[in-house]
């Protein structure tokens, strides 16, 4: 229900904008949608308890609307708005340079209500004759429509990071560049990245040269815009990259601003105002001339002026960080804290490398323990192990453990959760492993409640230690299966089970948005690479990013624990 209400409010917000409504009314609906989407309790429950109206951003009008949707399943006001325009009209927003105002004009004057309509109108040269539109705008529309079909507006975090790091190293060696940092959603470690933001500080006389070096570099495919402080390009990797250059003293302000998120910035500026200051991307300025202008050399100083402790970039989503950092700080988990991992495949099933090679790689990464979890027998496509081959693998692991003591190899399995929630090995076989990762690899299309029950049943098996990739999503490729993640976390909490953050760049599943709830419920997290080769073991770094973004600390992540603590955790689960 929460998502349904959020969807409706989001659409209302956009449709009101297209209708030319007061923009703050639109923002109010959009804010309400965002607030409702991230509630950890259902709207119905909050409504029953009479607590819904206490939530910031939900006033009298929105509350009435929520009540109507809960009661009748729809919102009359929303239906009425929708009837004013064809359904397809919202897709026009996907086009770069098209916003609500242009949509209104295009619809009123030329009856354009879809991307196809717009393309045809451009090709017929109809746009260039509209008031406020000319030839250039028409060309831009056509080019934006063609990039849309190339899907260049969304990228995996790892791909965007790789491209960004190439640019970063190029800029770092330029003499004219004083400071350079990756900002934007990469710095916030979002799982999906729209574009790359690079921030540079340099003397004004050098700016033009740096912009030229950047835009004329061989990694650039196309220049989108070039101004005095900002330049945008499309890279050969098909990712848009924006670069800004500011003065040295402006750098912390600009870094903070261009890291975002937008929602975080809005709150920063509103807090500045309450402190008699105005904040922009370059500096603080005084609203009340009687005050003294604060001196800020770092981002930490900026937060301090606003009576906040330093907020790590990953947490800047206006997701509760402002309340928390007024009086608290947090030391987020980081890569140096990892002592091992639990979900790696070998060539016993569908991994590319041998047990020995995988263990050697784990040693080289400084791990103290290393869990093997090959597929179970039903995963025929992945050469899953039957009971006999499990025993062979266990024998091999015992031998390797006997031969060396630098790293402890743990015996695990990634057992399939079958359609009915039972597991692919009997309890007797499961009892022979040090730990068990249980995952779904089949029958994705079940109803939300069936899928939730399926996973809950598996979690209740006393031999299950860790729930693997809890939604099965493949980012930008396949949505996860429908599942009530709050309920899964509740059950994991009741039964002392761990949930995996699968660190494969395509998965990053558990999603960071649920980590904080898991932490609240004392559900421990395992950061697992799901490695199918020695190189993929290093993917744990992406899992660390998710964990940081999900507010997790060393104590919340079992891979950060000592070997005996981990072994105790697993054996206690079986009691």
- By CB under 7 A, residue 25 contacts DNA: yes
For the window 195-234, what string marks contact with DNA as x by the rule CB under 7 A? x-x---------------------------xxxxxx----
Compute the least distance from the CB of residue 98 to DNA, in Å: 6
**Farthest-apart Cα atoms in the chain, separation:** 81
Between CA 401 and CA 342 the distance in angstroms is 16
Within 65-124, the residues that bind DNA by CB under 7 A are 93, 95-103
Window contacting DNA (CB under 7 A); options: 53-61, 328-336, 473-481, 563-571: 53-61
- By CB under 7 A, residue 150 contacts DNA: no
Window contacting DNA (CB under 7 A); options: 80-88, 168-176, 278-286, 368-376: 278-286
When the beta carbons of 52 and 527 are compared against DNA, the nearer one is: 52
When the beta carbons of 133 and 367 are compared against DNA, the nearer one is: 133
Task: Tell me how far CA of residue 175 lies from CA of 207, 210, 213, 231, 250, in angstroms.
Answer: 12, 10, 12, 20, 19
When the beta carbons of 26 and 409 are compared against DNA, the nearer one is: 26
Compute the least distance from the CB of residue 271 to DNA, in Å: 10
When the beta carbons of 5 and 32 are compared against DNA, the nearer one is: 32
When the beta carbons of 303 and 369 are compared against DNA, the nearer one is: 303
When the beta carbons of 103 and 456 are compared against DNA, the nearer one is: 103
Between CA 268 and CA 284 the distance in angstroms is 11
Between CA 350 and CA 569 the distance in angstroms is 28
In the set 146, 169, 278, 568, which binds DNA (CB under 7 A)? 278
In the set 50, 60, 405, 572, which binds DNA (CB under 7 A)? 60
Q: Characterize 332-359 residue by residue with b for buried, 16 or more Cβ atoms within 10 angstroms of its Cβ, and e for exposed.
A: bbeeeebbbbbbbbbbbbebebebeebb
Q: What are phi and psi of 156, to 5 degrees?
A: -65, 145
Between CA 460 and CA 112 the distance in angstroms is 55
- Helix axes of 60-72 and 2-18: crossing angle, nearest 10 degrees: 120
When the beta carbons of 242 and 509 are compared against DNA, the nearer one is: 242
Compute the least distance from the CB of residue 68 to DNA, in Å: 12
Instruction: List beta partners, residue 199.
Output: 181, 244
When the beta carbons of 218 and 288 are compared against DNA, the nearer one is: 288
When the beta carbons of 25 and 396 are compared against DNA, the nearer one is: 25
Between CA 460 and CA 438 the distance in angstroms is 11
- By CB under 7 A, residue 420 contacts DNA: no
Q: Are 511 and 474 in contact (CB under 8 A)?
A: no
Question: CB neighbours of 188 closer than 8 A, spacing ≥ 6?
Answer: 259, 260, 261, 313, 314, 316, 317, 549
- By CB under 7 A, residue 265 contacts DNA: yes
In the set 252, 260, 468, 480, which binds DNA (CB under 7 A)? 260
Between CA 503 and CA 79 the distance in angstroms is 42
Q: Are 551 and 315 in contact (CB under 8 A)?
A: yes
Compute the least distance from the CB of residue 477 to DNA, in Å: 23
Tokens of 290: 């009687």
Q: Are 88 and 113 in contact (CB under 8 A)?
A: yes
Question: CB neighbours of 459 closer than 8 A, spacing ≥ 6?
Answer: 438, 467, 488, 491, 492, 495, 497
**Closest to 243 (Cα-Cα) out of 216, 215, 219, 217:** 215
In the set 1, 57, 85, 453, which binds DNA (CB under 7 A)? 57
Count of residues binding DNA (CB under 7 A)? 63
- By CB under 7 A, residue 320 contacts DNA: no
Using CB under 7 A, list all residues that contact DNA: 22, 24-25, 27-29, 32, 55-63, 93, 95-103, 128, 131-138, 140, 184, 194-195, 197, 225-230, 242, 258, 260, 262, 265-266, 269-270, 273-274, 276, 278-282, 288
């Amino acid at each position: 229900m929460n998502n349904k209400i959020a969807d409706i409010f989001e659409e209302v917000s956009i449709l009101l904008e297209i209708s030319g409504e007061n923009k703050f009314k639109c923002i109010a609906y959009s804010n309400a949608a965002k607030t409702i989407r991230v509630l950890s309790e259902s709207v119905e429950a909050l409504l029953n308890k009479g607590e819904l109206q206490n939530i910031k951003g939900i006033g009298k009008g929105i509350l009435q609307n929520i009540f109507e949707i809960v009661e009748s399943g729809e919102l009359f006001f929303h239906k009425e708005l929708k009837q004013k325009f064809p359904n397809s009209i919202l897709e026009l927003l996907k086009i770069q340079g098209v916003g609500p105002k242009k949509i209104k004009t295009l619809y009123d004057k030329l009856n354009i209500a879809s991307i196809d309509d717009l393309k045809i109108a451009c090709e017929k040269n109809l746009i260039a004759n509209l008031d406020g539109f000319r030839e250039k705008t028409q060309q831009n529309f056509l080019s934006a429509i063609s990039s849309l079909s190339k899907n260049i507006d969304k990228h995996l975090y790892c791909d965007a990071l790789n491209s960004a790091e190439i640019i970063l190293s190029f800029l770092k060696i330029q003499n004219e560049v004083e400071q350079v940092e990756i900002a934007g959603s990469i710095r916030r470690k979002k799982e999906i990245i729209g574009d790359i933001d690079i921030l540079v500080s340099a003397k004004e006389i050098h700016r033009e040269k740096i912009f030229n070096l950047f835009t004329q570099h061989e990694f650039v495919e196309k220049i989108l815009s070039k101004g005095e402080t900002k330049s945008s390009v499309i890279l050969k990797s098909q990712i848009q990259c924006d670069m800004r250059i500011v003065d040295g003293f402006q750098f912390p302000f600009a870094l903070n601003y261009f890291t975002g998120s937008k929602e975080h910035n809005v709150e920063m500026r509103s807090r500045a105002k309450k402190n008699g200051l105005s904040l922009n991307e370059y500096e603080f300025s005084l609203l009340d001339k009687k005050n003294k202008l604060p001196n800020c050399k770092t981002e930490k100083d900026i937060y301090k002026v606003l009576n906040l402790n330093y907020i790590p970039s990953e947490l800047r989503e206006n997701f509760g960080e402002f309340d928390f950092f007024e009086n608290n700080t947090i030391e987020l988990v980081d890569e140096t804290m990892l002592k091992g991992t639990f979900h790696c495949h070998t060539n016993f099933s569908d991994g590319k490398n041998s047990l020995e090679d995988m263990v050697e790689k784990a040693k080289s990464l400084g791990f103290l323990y290393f869990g093997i979890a090959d597929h179970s027998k039903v995963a025929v496509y992945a050469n899953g192990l039957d009971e006999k081959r499990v025993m062979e693998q266990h024998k091999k692991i015992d031998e390797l453990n006997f031969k060396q003591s630098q790293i402890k190899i743990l015996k695990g399995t990634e057992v399939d959760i079958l359609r009915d929630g039972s597991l692919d090995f009997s309890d007797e076989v499961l009892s022979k492993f040090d730990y068990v990762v249980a995952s779904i690899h089949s029958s994705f299309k079940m109803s939300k409640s069936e899928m939730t029950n399926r996973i809950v049943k598996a979690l209740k098996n006393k031999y299950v230690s860790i729930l693997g990739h809890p939604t099965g999503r493949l980012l930008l490729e396949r949505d996860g299966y429908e599942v009530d993640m709050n309920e899964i976390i509740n059950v994991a909490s009741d039964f002392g089970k761990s949930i995996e953050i699968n660190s494969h760049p395509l998965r990053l599943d558990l999603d960071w948005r649920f980590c904080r709830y898991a932490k609240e419920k004392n559900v421990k997290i395992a950061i697992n690479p799901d490695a199918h080769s020695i190189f993929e073991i290093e993917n744990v770094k992406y899992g660390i990013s998710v964990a940081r973004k999900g507010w997790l600390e060393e104590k919340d992540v079992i891979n950060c624990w000592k070997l005996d603590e981990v072994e105790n955790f697993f054996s206690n689960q079986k009691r």
